[in-house]
Amino acid sequence: MNRNDLKDYRYNKRWIEGRMEYIEEYKSSITKITTTLSDMPKGSKKVEDSIAEKVAILLDNIDDLLKKVVEQSNRQKEILEQLEKVEQPYRNILEAVYIQGKTLVTVASEMDYSYVHICREHGVALSKFDNVI
């Protein structure tokens, strides 16, 4: 993982949350379809088959989406593991900026340092993050 992966952490986290909401919508539509399937009259197999095909397509889409979400979640986990290997106070700076989404001004204020000092330390922290093996 490099600094670009760290910078994308929050965006990827939002993407995962959005995909999970999308999956929930899929699940609710499948529930509605399967309810309809069980309430269908027994005389028309053609209607049942088209609904069953739609359910199968929805399930395939959910499986593909879940695979992508799991891959992205694993990358997020790797980023956090790499961040844990960075020494303090650099870890706190990187976590505040890239994980929590705070600005450098806010981080400087919270850590009781000047903004200029935090800017320098932020650069060092990114270098340390890149060099973690």
Residue 133: what pLDDT? 67
Question: What ranges do the domains of the chain cover?
Answer: 1-84, 86-133
Residue 124: what pLDDT? 94
Query: What's the pTM value of the predicted model, to 2 decimals?
Result: 0.68
DSSP state of 87: P
Residue 31: what pLDDT? 67
Rounded Cα–Cα distance for residues 59 and 27 (Å): 9
Rounded Cα–Cα distance for residues 133 and 129 (Å): 9
User: What 3-state DSSP class applies to 124?
Assistant: helix
Q: Per residue in 16-47, pLDDT tens?
A: 888 888 878 877 776 665 555 555 555 555 54
Say if residues 128 and 90 touch (Cβ distance below 8 Å).
yes
Q: Answer yes or no: is pLDDT of 68 > 70.
A: yes
